[in-house]
Each structure stands twice: as C-alpha cells, then as structure tokens.
Structure 1
Amino acid sequence: MGKWTQTVTAKVLGVGLLALLMTIPLLQVRELVRERQQLRQQAIAQIAQGWGGKQVLGGPLLVVPTLREVTPAGATAPQWQAGSESILADTLALDVAMSVDTRSYGIYSAPVYVATVKLAAQFRAQDLAQFRRSSDAPWQAGKAELRLALGDLRGLQEVGELRINGQPARFESSADRLGPWPNVVVPIDLDALGAQSVDVQITLKLAGTEALQLLPLARSTDVKMHAPWNDPSFIGAALPLEHAIDAHGFSARWHLLDLNRSYGQHWTDRDDVCSALAASSFGVQLYQPVDVYQRNVRAGKYGLLFIAMTFVAFFLFEVLKRLRVHPVQYLLVGAALATFYVVLLALSEQIGFGPAYALAAAAVVLLVGGYAMAVLRARRAGALLGGVLGLIYAMLYGLIAAEQYALLIGALVLLAVVALMMYLTRRIDWYAYAPASGEPSAAIMERS
C-alpha cells in the first residue's frame, strides 16, 4: 500500500483531489460577485429613487362609474353597488424621443433617460354607444375619467399639452390604479359630449432608468421610438416591425392590434385583467454590453477547468522532466489562480473589464511563472509554464468575449487540450513510482 501511494497514478489522483479542493475558494469568489451585483442593484435603486425607475406608459383609458342594483329579495328599499367599466381607444399613436445619460452612485452607474412622448388617441362614438347599451349597470357618464397609467409617477417631469376634443385639460393625482401601475386622471363628462368621438392629445416628459415599456391600450397601436443608444434590447410581448441601429443610436417602430393581446376593448371592475395587461407590455431596455459582473460570472464558471489545466501542466513537467512538486506547492499555485478572480472583480469595477483582465492575468502569470522557476529549479521550465498559463488566460478571455459561440469554442478547446494530454502522456507507465527530485522515472528511462 505504501508503494502504491508513490506511483504516478496516485500522484494524478492527488492532483485531481487538490483541484477539486480549489472549488471552495472559487465558490467564495462567486458569492462575492453576487454580493457586488446586489450592491449595484441597490445603487441603481438609489438612482431611480431620485430620478424615476423602469417606466411603463399606457395609453389613455376611459373609466365610467356604474351603479348596479343588488337589492335582495324581500328588501323594502333598493340597494346599489358601485362599480366601473373601462374602455380602450380605437387608435393610439405614440412618438417617443429619448435623451440618454449615465448617472453614478459611488462606483456604480446606470443609464437614465428623459422621454418626450407625443400621444394621440381616439375613442369612437360607436364604441361608447355600443358598450353603454350592452352594460348590465347604468352608466354615470357625467362622472367619467380619462386615466393615464405610469410606472413611476416620480419620473413625470412635465405635461406640456393635454387636449380633449381640442379643449385644454389638466391631469389630477389619483389613488386608483391600473393593475400594478398608478394613474393620473382628468374628469370628463361623456353626457356633455353627446354622440361625439373623444380625441385626446398629450405631450409629456417622462424620466426613467434603464427601461421604458408601453401598453397597447387600443384596437390599433402604433409606436415610433428613437434614442442615442447603440445597444438597445427590445423586450416584452412584441418586437418592433422595423428597427435600425447606427452610430447615432437606434430607431424602432411597433404596430399592434387588439388581436395580438389576451384582453378586449372593454372590461368591468369585476374582471381580472392585471396579469394580461402586464404580459402585453413591450418596449426597450438600455442594455449595457460591458456589464463587468456578467463577465466576472462567466469567467468564474471556467475557474475549475483552468486551475485543473494549470495543475496538469505542472504535473507533466514533474513527470516528463524528472522533477518533484509537493502538494503544498500545488495548493499555493491554486491559491494564486483563485486570487486572479478577486483581483479581476476589484479592478473591473474601477477601470473596466478589458484592462482589469489584462492586469490581473499578467500579475498571476508573473507570480506563478516566477514561483515555478524556484520550485522546478529551472528558468526555462518556469518561463514555459508562465507562457502556458498566459495562453490559458488568453483562451479564457476569448470564451468570455464570444458570447454566442462560447460553448462551441470551449468544447473545441477542451477537446484539443484532452488530445494534447493524451499525446504527451502516451508513454507514461502509470504504475511506475513517482520520481524523487533529480531521479528519472521508469517511463522516461524506457524512452531513453
């Protein structure tokens, strides 16, 4: 048993066990990345608190109060229950022009915007008359309200124009909500309008952080949007019919019909449409392609693989060059490799991911290469190991940068590494004793 523990096979198993042991600091680093991500989200929340969060903008909605008779049998006096009915516009057109800036909180930053929105909607007189006739409760049309849903009222900077059938009006605050979103309202007397359609024009400025989504609250919804941002991420229930991205930013156009959503043109307060409304939202997120935390997470996923590859390189030098490396020395090299991810995270928050990666990789390559020169007692071997480690980090950066082809590249690199290991170890006698320092192994003696 004592002799078996001195074999090359036992050495391989020991090196594998040490590599697995390095998953402990790697998991700690991954937890550190999550903690920093949470701090960033808290910083973005602080920015949004004073500026406006992720915004949702709905089209104007007509809400008409109703009184439904609920008199029980045998009652001496009629009893009534208050309710409401909501009516959507026939057509809705929005022209959204966004100006974008970046706000910082400590070392963290987030894109913010001010959207100048021009909105035009029309409620057809035929629809209003039809819904009124089909209602099972009398309308209180003189107390109707025109409501506009907003995701975060703190971001409503200005209402430049509000006209109903050409007449100026003014929004008021309200405790009513459309699903999860607060509203601003304006009273409207439908009885006074008679058999007219209701035309609404609104111009407003809406501030928000990171994302702007819209609700298709009309039978036909047309949206045009443009912003000086080169990395838009179109999100939600509908992608734009047309979009263009150039050096000046992006532009996009959506067209949605009532057939594209799961709720109709009309509902009552007894109908639960909250989830359907939320599911129908669409818009754009100001994507940040250089998110250092996403890249740090991706780098950490390959941590165990690259520590194992480095250990394999040390092992091959140990066996093929008749050298001896102590397990503690493997652990010190593994600790240096794990430290790379901490240094990368700390630097990338300050100077960006690319420069941070170059500095952290160079520091670890020099550290491990210099240590290898001392351990292996050979400058050439240490320099070669440093070069191999540098190549490993270059491959890792390629995997991180190639977002869509990372799996393919990683699989090919892994296949090539396994093939190289099989070639270099094809003549090793795995039953041979591990060589003492300066003593040739049986496998190498056979080759000589």
Structure 2
Amino acid sequence: MMQWTQTVIAKVMGVGVLALLMTIPLLQVRGLVSERQQLREGAITQIAQGWGGKQVLGGPVLVVPTLQQVAVAQGQPPQWRAGSESLLADALKLDVAMAVTTRSYGIYAAPVFVATVKLGAQFRAQDIAQYRRASNATWQGGKAELRLPVGDLRGLQEVTGLRINGQPARFESSADRLGSWPNVVVPIDLDALGEQPIDVQIGLKLAGTEALQLLPLARSTDVTMRAPWRDPGFIGAALPLERSIDGHGFSAHWHLLDLNRSYGQHWNDADNMQPALQASTFGVQLYQPVDVYQRNVRAGKYGLLFIAMTFVAFFLFEVLKRLRVHPVQYLLVGAALATFYVVLLALSEQIGFGPAYALAAVAVAVLVGGYAMAVLRARRAGLLLGGVLGLIYAMLYGLIAAEQYALLIGALVLLAMVGLMMYLTRRIDWYAYVPSSAEPPAAIMDKP
C-alpha cells in the first residue's frame, strides 16, 4: 500500500515540476511578443519620420521681449537683463476636420491623418494694457511675436491663411520653443497697434500619426473635432462635453476655461511652464482595436494555467486507464501547447488575431488529441482530450475578448474547473490507485 501511495505522490509531484518547467518556453514567447511589439513601434517611428508624429497644436501666444534693470554696485553703469513675457488669448476657437488613412511599413501599419484646422483667437486690448502696466520690466512692444506651438513641424503641410486684424501675414520659422514644442512665429508691433485688440485667424493643414492633442491656451477654449474613424480614444486632461460615434466616424466638442488648468493667462521666461503645459493637453488617439500584441500578451498570461490543466487531464486518463505515461511524453504535450503561442503570434501579424487564434487552436488540439490516441492507446480518450483542449482554447478566447470582465470570468472558470476535477476524482482511492466504484474502468473509457 505504501509503495503505491509513494508512486502516486511522486507522479503528481513530477507532473507539477514539468508544468513549472513549461514556464521557461512561455517566458521566451512573452519576450518574443515584446520584441515584435518593439519592431512595430520602430515601424511606426519610420512612418512618422516621413509624415509627422503624434501631433500637438496650441493657440497663438503673444510673446513680448522685455528689458529689466538689474542691481549693480554704486558707481557702476546700469545693466539690463533681456527676457520675455507671454500672454494668452481671451478666446480660442478651433474647428478640426481629420482625414484618416493607414500607412504600412513592412507588415506593420499605423493610422495617419491630415487635419484641416480653422483657428480663431482674440486678445483683449485691456488685458495687454493691464499686463504691461503690472510688469516689472520694460516692454519692447515693437519686437513682439505671435507664436504658434506645433508638436512636429514636419507635419505642417500648408498654411492656407493667416490674418491679423484682417491683414494678411506670414509665419516664420523660429528656434524658440513653448514648453517642449517648437513654434512658428509672426512678428507684431504692439506699439503701432496702440489700444487695439488683436484678432488672429489661421487656416492650416497638419499631418500626424496616431494622435492629435490640443493646448487650451486661452481664457476660453472651444474645440470641435471630427474624423471618419470609428474607434477614437479621447485622451489627456479633458474629455469632450459632447461626442458622437457611429459607423461613419466620430465628432466631439470640448469647452475649457482657464479655471480648468494649472497656469494663468500670463507668465515670464523665468517660469518653468513645461510640466504644466504638458499636463493640460487633450485630444484624440486613433485607437486600433485589433492590437494583436496586446492580445497575445493577455493570452500568454493564462498559458501556465492551461498547460497545468491539460497535464491534469492526461494524469486522470493515466490513473483511470491504469496506464504509464512517461515524463518525456508530458514534455512533448507541453511543448505543443507552448508552440500554440508562437504560431498565434506569427499568424496574427499576417491575418489578424481572430483567424490566427482559430487556426492555431485547431492545429494544437488536433496535434495533442492525435498524440493522446497513441499514448493512451484509446481513440475515445484522444478525441475527448482534443475536445477538452478545444473547449479550453474557446474559454481562453472569451477571456481575451472580455477586456473589462476578464478577471471575473477567469476566476469563475478556474473555480468551475477545480470543481470539475474534484467531481471526476471523487471516487478514486488514491491509496489503492484504483477507482473505488464498482463500475469497471471499461465503462468509463473505451478499451483499446
């Protein structure tokens, strides 16, 4: 009796060790998924280099050069420090229409867009006068500039119109930056304008890849955006107040106040504005719902569980049929199950995740089922094991598809599988290594 017990215990422990050993190829597969994902990101970078990357667009910012007298020793000539002060518009309105296509680099693809932007901004004369009076420096109003921040200037395809107070103007390139973003600038003479407000109207075409974000650079920012893309992801510091998504695309509307951000209407060059400006961006990402790498990663997370469940099924067949399955045969079955994830990754890059999953699951289920027929010397056992494996892969696909409820469904499935194992083994006398039921094994499983 003790010898049989020790044999069963050793077999169970050996199967457990073999299941743990299968984590090695599963980790290798996970590393392969990460490598392929990096290759995809590199391909998207290549697309962005020739088209324009993830874009950020702001409203025009009025930047005024200043001179401030600094303290010097008595008897020394006066010295001045050059600086600048930035003023935001009172109102900013953007109308953005995006035309979206898909560009490929090798086997990888990314959504790209050309955004036709109509931008209007108004600076109040009383705001300009108030900040000028409150400044501790002398304004060089004749050398002021309007700066328009653009995330990636490679994507600025065309400026269809630029008018300041109704008069045509022209952008110039600049080495200056607003936060972390480059600018295009247009000179403006505040001294010549006197007490007039400033009205800016801009039309442009901006190309980019995957995402377009905006900066709320005004006391009141109003944005309307639309695109023929059915899977938008609204990102950043603010969600749209109104949005509509259907089979033809989406439209969205944002309205933000200066109270909704962490910086004011005015700052000088000594202030570090980059973190605050970066935190205030908002917009849309052209989300690709069929992200094969994300789904491959999620499938791999359940790999060890399903390998262990298959080993347990093999072990139960071995006990019920009074057979001896060699550890090498367990390893071969585990290798076939691990190969599923490699085949899934390779096929999903070519034909999409759904068809790839079906082909890989059928191939592995047939392979393991056919091998089980030979190992267990029972056709019915092989068919049953292949069917169980197919059911397991069907449940795994359900877990992958149920993004928000994956944990709940996975926990319930695990509980159900453990309960099923307990039910199937309830009559096995593990000390005697034979079923305690009077029903012979042949009634449970066909003899070869």
TM-score tier after normalising by the smaller chain length: over 0.9
Moved more, 337-346 or 312-321: 312-321
Partner of residue 99, structure 1: 99
- Whichever residue aligns with residue 64 of structure 1, its letter is V
The residue matched to 2:386 in structure 1 has which SS?
Answer: helix
Q: Is the 8 A contact 1:56 1:150 kept in 2?
A: yes
Partner of residue 415, structure 2: 415
CA distance in 2, matches of 1:137, 1:173: 27
After superposition, what is the alpha-carbon deviation per residue over 1:128-149, rounded to whole angstroms, capped at 9, x for unaligned?
A: 0000000000100000000000
- Whichever residue aligns with residue 443 of structure 1, its letter is P
After superposition, what is the alpha-carbon deviation per residue over 1:199-252, rounded to whole angstroms, capped at 9, x for unaligned?
A: 000000000000000000000000000000000000000000000001110000
Partner of residue 135, structure 1: 135
Distance 1:60 1:261, change over 3 A: same
- Whichever residue aligns with residue 110 of structure 1, its letter is A
Q: Is the 8 A contact 1:5 1:11 kept in 2?
A: no
Moved more, 163-172 or 69-78: 69-78
- Whichever residue aligns with residue 419 of structure 1, its letter is G
CA distance in 1, matches of 2:375, 2:207: 60
Q: Is the 8 A contact 1:7 1:431 kept in 2?
A: no
The residue matched to 1:205 in structure 2 has which SS?
Answer: strand
Q: Is the 8 A contact 1:117 1:205 kept in 2?
A: yes
Q: Following superposition of structure 1 onto structure 2, how do residues 228-247 of structure 1 map, counting pairs within 5 Å?
A: 228-247=228-247
Partner of residue 68, structure 2: 68
Q: Following superposition of structure 1 onto structure 2, how do residues 270-349 of structure 1 map, counting pairs within 5 Å?
A: 270-349=270-349
Partner of residue 13, structure 1: 13
Moved more, 63-72 or 28-37: 63-72
CA distance in 1, matches of 2:321, 2:412: 28
CA distance in 2, matches of 1:149, 1:11: 68
- Whichever residue aligns with residue 323 of structure 1, its letter is L
Partner of residue 437, structure 1: none
Partner of residue 23, structure 2: 23
Q: How far has the Cα of 1:273 moved from its partner?
A: 1.2
Q: How far has the Cα of 1:444 moved from its partner?
A: 4.9
Q: Is the 8 A contact 2:236 2:281 kept in 1?
A: yes
CA distance in 1, matches of 2:59, 2:211: 17
Q: Following superposition of structure 1 onto structure 2, how do residues 28-67 of structure 1 map, counting pairs within 5 Å?
A: 28-67=28-67
CA distance in 2, matches of 1:241, 1:106: 39
The residue matched to 2:394 in structure 1 has which SS?
Answer: helix
Q: How far has the Cα of 1:447 moved from its partner?
A: 5.8
Partner of residue 435, structure 2: 443
Q: How far has the Cα of 1:2 moved from its partner?
A: 9.3
CA distance in 1, matches of 2:359, 2:415: 28
Q: How far has the Cα of 1:425 moved from its partner?
A: 1.2
CA distance in 1, matches of 2:385, 2:434: 24
CA distance in 2, matches of 1:117, 1:324: 73
CA distance in 2, matches of 1:322, 1:175: 80
- Whichever residue aligns with residue 442 of structure 1, its letter is V
Q: How far has the Cα of 1:11 moved from its partner?
A: 1.5
Q: How far has the Cα of 1:429 moved from its partner?
A: 2.4
CA distance in 1, matches of 2:431, 2:51: 69
CA distance in 2, matches of 1:23, 1:425: 27
CA distance in 1, matches of 2:345, 2:209: 25
Moved more, 333-342 or 405-414: 405-414
Q: Is the 8 A contact 1:9 1:431 kept in 2?
A: no
Partner of residue 446, structure 2: none
The residue matched to 2:84 in structure 1 has which SS?
Answer: strand
Q: Is the 8 A contact 1:320 1:444 kept in 2?
A: no
The residue matched to 2:263 in structure 1 has which SS?
Answer: coil
The residue matched to 1:157 in structure 2 has which SS?
Answer: strand
Q: Is the 8 A contact 1:65 1:82 kept in 2?
A: yes
The residue matched to 2:76 in structure 1 has which SS?
Answer: coil
- Whichever residue aligns with residue 141 of structure 1, its letter is G
CA distance in 1, matches of 2:10, 2:4: 7
**Which ranges of structure 2 fall in alignment gaps of 5 or more residues?**
441-448
CA distance in 2, matches of 1:68, 1:213: 36
Q: How far has the Cα of 1:427 moved from its partner?
A: 2.1
Q: Is the 8 A contact 1:9 1:430 kept in 2?
A: no
Partner of residue 182, structure 1: 182
Q: Is the 8 A contact 2:427 2:437 kept in 1?
A: no
The residue matched to 1:7 in structure 2 has which SS?
Answer: helix
Q: Following superposition of structure 1 onto structure 2, how do residues 138-157 of structure 1 map, counting pairs within 5 Å?
A: 138-157=138-157
After superposition, what is the alpha-carbon deviation per residue over 1:372-413, rounded to whole angstroms, capped at 9, x for unaligned?
A: 000001111101100000000000011111111111111111
Q: Is the 8 A contact 1:63 1:145 kept in 2?
A: yes
Partner of residue 168, structure 1: 168
CA distance in 2, matches of 1:328, 1:16: 14
Q: Is the 8 A contact 1:92 1:217 kept in 2?
A: yes
Q: Following superposition of structure 1 onto structure 2, how do residues 374-389 of structure 1 map, counting pairs within 5 Å?
A: 374-389=374-389
Moved more, 287-296 or 422-431: 422-431
- Whichever residue aligns with residue 232 of structure 1, its letter is P
Q: Is the 8 A contact 1:344 1:360 kept in 2?
A: yes
Q: Is the 8 A contact 2:320 2:434 kept in 1?
A: no
The residue matched to 2:146 in structure 1 has which SS?
Answer: strand
The residue matched to 1:3 in structure 2 has which SS?
Answer: helix
CA distance in 1, matches of 2:243, 2:364: 44
CA distance in 2, matches of 1:75, 1:286: 64
- Whichever residue aligns with residue 409 of structure 2, its letter is I
Relative to the length of structure 2, the TM-score reads 0.96
CA distance in 2, matches of 1:76, 1:442: 106
CA distance in 2, matches of 1:43, 1:430: 57
Partner of residue 211, structure 2: 211
After superposition, what is the alpha-carbon deviation per residue over 1:3-46, rounded to whole angstroms, capped at 9, x for unaligned?
A: 36753232222111111110000000000000000000000000
